[in-house]
Structure 1
Amino acid sequence: MTQSFTRRHLFRNLAAPAAAMLVLAGCATTGGAVSPEADKAALLKRAQAYWALLRANDSLGAWPYEEASKDPKATVEEYLKRGGVAYDAVEVRGVRSIEGDRAVVNLWMRYSLPLLRLKNQETAVEDEWRRIDGVWHHVLRRSVMFTKDKE
């Protein structure tokens, strides 16, 4: 009986740490390098959520998706002032490219510019995204009319 108890005790003492190591190794594997397919899926999901918010005219909800939201110099108030576009329809059509922490997503959109009285404009665009701290963020395009950066 002593030998049986010792084997059981030895097995329990060795098996528990081994099982814990396997669990931790599995977490490290899934939490580390992301497969290209998973990365692409995460980007598409984030882009669809972002554009759905803009289509619903929820700029405040879209702010956390913006690269600028990670910049301490940028403010949500400045972001909300930029408006002027009403998105009637937006389709995220796929990921064009992912290179490191930069990506381009293909979009199609129908939009209006109420201040200019332009309606039902359609275009296909390449939408830039940047990964910050493991999360994809939308990169705002700067207007060609306002190229001077704020100091």
Structure 2
Amino acid sequence: MKPLHTHRRRLLQALVLPAAVMLTLAGCASTPSPQADREALLQRAREYWELSRKNDTLNAWKYEAASKDQSMTLEGYVKRGGIVYDSVEVLGVRSLQGDEARVDVRMRYGVPLLRLKNMEADAQDQWRRIDGIWYHVLPRSSVFPGEKR
């Protein structure tokens, strides 16, 4: 006859191993933690605004929600330009609810066509998650980025 502690150990192994596997699998299938979600959003926002600051509209287009739903063409996106960003700082996530978010952004910009220079604005930038990836939502007015929507 085997000692009692051997039976306990085998019983624990029989119970703990399946439970650990189930917890691991459940963790893989769950949504990202709120902190990981915020970090992913901030990373996308920083990448997008760096491309915009460099006037790299071709690559910035890939970050636009409009590129996913065909509400605008790449040609239309490029033509809407007119703003030159001198600096853009992503300050943080203001709100994140489901697949909608707002990010606080501070920018210094100019609008050469209107002879505006060194304009500054703090804006709430809208973002939308589509198929698990965050995309920038264009403001209604591209002339005044700080304008309320």
TM-score by length of 2: 0.77
How far did residue 80 of structure 1 move? 0.7
Identity of aligned residues (%): 56
**Would the alpha carbon gap of residues 27 and 46 (structure 1) be closer, same or farther in structure 2, given more than 3 Å must change?**
farther
**Would the alpha carbon gap of residues 108 and 25 (structure 1) be closer, same or farther in structure 2, given more than 3 Å must change?**
same
For 1:54, the equivalent position in structure 2 comes to 52
Helix, strand or coil: the match of 2:52?
A: helix
For 2:74, the equivalent position in structure 1 comes to 76
**Number of residue pairs matched?**
129
For 1:4, the equivalent position in structure 2 comes to none
| Stretches of structure 1 lacking an aligned partner (at least 5 in a row) | 1-18, 146-151
Equivalent residues in 2 for 1:1-151, closer than 5 Å: 26=24, 29-143=27-141
Q: Find the aligned partners of 1:131 and 1:24 in 2 and give their Cα distance.
A: 28
Q: Find the aligned partners of 1:31 and 1:59 in 2 and give their Cα distance.
A: 35
- Structure 1 residue identity aligned to 2:75: E
TM-score by length of 1: 0.76
Q: Find the aligned partners of 1:65 and 1:76 in 2 and give their Cα distance.
A: 12
**Would the alpha carbon gap of residues 25 and 109 (structure 1) be closer, same or farther in structure 2, given more than 3 Å must change?**
same
How far did residue 72 of structure 1 move? 3.0
| Stretches of structure 2 lacking an aligned partner (at least 5 in a row) | 1-16, 144-149
